[in-house]
Structure 1
Amino acid sequence: MTKAFASTGDMEKKTISFTEIGPDLYAFTAEGDPNTGVIIGDDSVMVMDAQATPVMANLVIEKVREVTDKPIKYVTLSHYHAVRVLGASAYNASEIIASEKCQAMIYERGQEDWDSEYGRFPRLFEAADSIPGLTWPTMTFKDRMTVNMGKRRVELMHLGRAHTAGDIVAWVPDAGVMFTGDIVEYHSACYCGDGHFKDWGNTLDAIKAFNPDAIAPGRGDALVGDTMVNAAIENTRDFVESTYRPIERVVARGGSLKEAWDACRAECDPKFKDYAIYEHCLPFNVARAFDEARGIDTPRIWTAERDREMWAQLQG
């Protein structure tokens, strides 16, 4: 019997948590589903990552309204993936902020990503018909941008390639808190299908250099305190390296994609098989690592057709 594609059969509801990780700073988490960060300034609110649909974004808004009635002025996109950005319209924000590279990737592959992600993991797109279309930034920057929210300053930064080429983080210096998007995960598999394995570790080092007291990761629980923050950073590093190293060796000896899959499983299953979305991510991670090890620097665009072709090849 053919194994079900990606996470099409994952329909289990997740428990939502809304955790304060610093003064007026919150992480909206849901047991390994995509997280959203909330930054409250003197007169407005910034949301980091929007959720996949306006209906799902309303769950975030409900939590925000439990702690403040200030307007949500900014929606910041850590990267371009559909599950992060397509709910942006629900916030009625004045500005939607992203890196220049993120904006370019929306133009290049935003629709294809939407189509393929919806096919892979339909539960994350509750009320998909509420999405008005692709989310377009109204404000972009190359490497760094400062947003002043009264006395609170938020530094938005592109620290390097990792989960995608356009990843950014949000650093709140008055609290020592960082919102990393999917560059850092906690007890959740890293999705590397559009990633840059050989750059990811350097980007983690750049995050670590800030010595954050707390991190809102892309998936998994909020990280509060040095021990938890450092453990998550190093665990993310281990996941990325453990995925890439065995595949790089397979490519070096001229092996096949299926051999790369087997080698990756042998390395990663003992450590990570119980992580959230591990089985979902694995085939896409293997395919991208196989490409990068063969010298393909820019991740190939995932389409619904390519998804299923790759899945059939690996299952066979």
Structure 2
Amino acid sequence: MSEKKFASHADLEEKKVSFDKLSENAYAYTAEGDPNTGIVIGDDAVMVIDTQATPIMAQDVIRRIREVTDKPIKYVVMSHYHAVRVLGASAYKPEHIIASHDTYDLICERGEADMKSEIERFPRLFRTVESVPGLTWPTMTFKGEMTLWLGKLEVKIMQVGRGHTKGDTIVWLPQQKILFSGDLVEFGATPYAGDAYFKDWPQTLDALTALKPEKLVPGRGASLTSPEMVKEGIEGTRAFVSELYQAVQDGVATGKDLNSVYKQAMDRLRPKYGQWVIFDHCMPFDVTRAYDEATQHVDPRIWTAQRDKEMWHALEG
């Protein structure tokens, strides 16, 4: 049996882009399970939530924004620190790049290692990597919650708990009940949980549900355009995260090593989630992190390009 190709190296097919209008102020740029970008158009300025992986990829988002408005793109919000989300930021030439202070701390601690690691994992998304000028640093950070007024449009930028990372940030339009969740919610796409807090994630999803969003732009997957779809997206993410962590805890409780736990978790989750985008890519990272959290590492260990490959070889070699 030949070794499975590393991470997303087998994923070379171009994705079809959708640009969905959710309201007069909100749009979603989605691409069949590739990382999404949210757009908020206020009275006098535009905000972009998550930037695409490179400035070249960001140009396609800008082109679509320009089809609906000529207002300046003043703000970029980082839902978290992952390279695939933030390295396209320079293309927008924003006045401000906003992140939670926790995300700022993570960039300081592991931004450089994460950038090298993700570029190796996602060759298709980073094929124009030479256009990336370096790490994306926030110009403005907040703790808990901040509000921006884009004219009369209220935009809440909030941390409601840890899940996908320690720094997860959502953007909420309370007047329209539209939520941009970042990777706290995925739809038909496998949650990446290599830097996650499995114990916290379900409560954080409760906090999202409590907002009663009527529309939601997930981190990956199609826009959720009704309360029923929003519920399906949140509950699907919760089920995956909970079932994976339970499978790992069960293995740890019986003294199994990481390899055995991985095989057990794959067997348990594949029937229900195997058809979700990037399942085979995410599972080795997800199970490794869950195993760490269930044993001795409360906080996620830093992924380096080297650690990625060693882990992959151990579990999929």
Q: Structure 1 length as normaliser, TM-score?
A: 0.99
Q: What is the distance in 2 between the residues matched to 1:39 and 1:315?
A: 41
Counterpart for residue 61 of structure 2: 60
State the SS of the aligned residue for 2:44: coil
Counterpart for residue 297 of structure 1: 298
Counterpart for residue 273 of structure 1: 274
Q: What is the distance in 1 between the residues matched to 2:229 and 2:252?
A: 35
Is there any run of 5+ residues in structure 1 with no aligned partner, and where?
none
Asked if residue 137 in structure 1 is aligned to residue 138 in structure 2, the reply is: yes
Identity %: 53
> 1:255-314 CA distances to partner (integer Å, 9 max, x unpaired)?
111111111112210101010111110100010000000031110000011011111111
State the SS of the aligned residue for 2:22: strand
1:10, CA displacement in angstroms?
1.2
Q: What is the distance in 1 between the residues matched to 2:87 and 2:135?
A: 6
State the SS of the aligned residue for 1:247: helix
What amino acid sits opposite 1:271 in the alignment? K
Q: What is the distance in 2 between the residues matched to 1:242 and 1:270?
A: 12
Counterpart for residue 104 of structure 2: 103
Superposition RMSD in Å: 0.7
What amino acid sits opposite 1:313 in the alignment? A
What amino acid sits opposite 1:250 in the alignment? G
What amino acid sits opposite 1:207 in the alignment? L
Counterpart for residue 40 of structure 1: 41
> 1:153-191 CA distances to partner (integer Å, 9 max, x unpaired)?
100000000000000100001111000000000000000
Q: Structure 2 length as normaliser, TM-score?
A: 0.98
Q: What is the distance in 2 between the residues matched to 1:276 and 1:153?
A: 34
Counterpart for residue 241 of structure 2: 240
Q: What is the distance in 1 between the residues matched to 2:231 and 2:316?
A: 36
Counterpart for residue 117 of structure 2: 116
Q: What is the distance in 2 between the residues matched to 1:126 and 1:36?
A: 19
State the SS of the aligned residue for 1:125: coil
1:22, CA displacement in angstroms?
2.1
Q: What is the distance in 2 between the residues matched to 1:258 and 1:123?
A: 29
Q: What is the distance in 1 between the residues matched to 2:232 and 2:268?
A: 20
CA contact (8 A) 1:56 1:126 kept: no
Query: What is the number of residues matched between the two proteins?
Result: 316
1:251, CA displacement in angstroms?
1.0
CA contact (8 A) 1:16 1:29 kept: yes
1:67, CA displacement in angstroms?
0.5
Q: What is the distance in 2 between the residues matched to 1:217 and 1:126?
A: 24
CA contact (8 A) 1:23 1:175 kept: no
1:18, CA displacement in angstroms?
0.4
Q: What is the distance in 2 between the residues matched to 1:39 and 1:126?
A: 28
Asked if residue 24 in structure 1 is aligned to residue 25 in structure 2, the reply is: yes
Q: What is the distance in 2 between the residues matched to 1:301 and 1:93?
A: 29
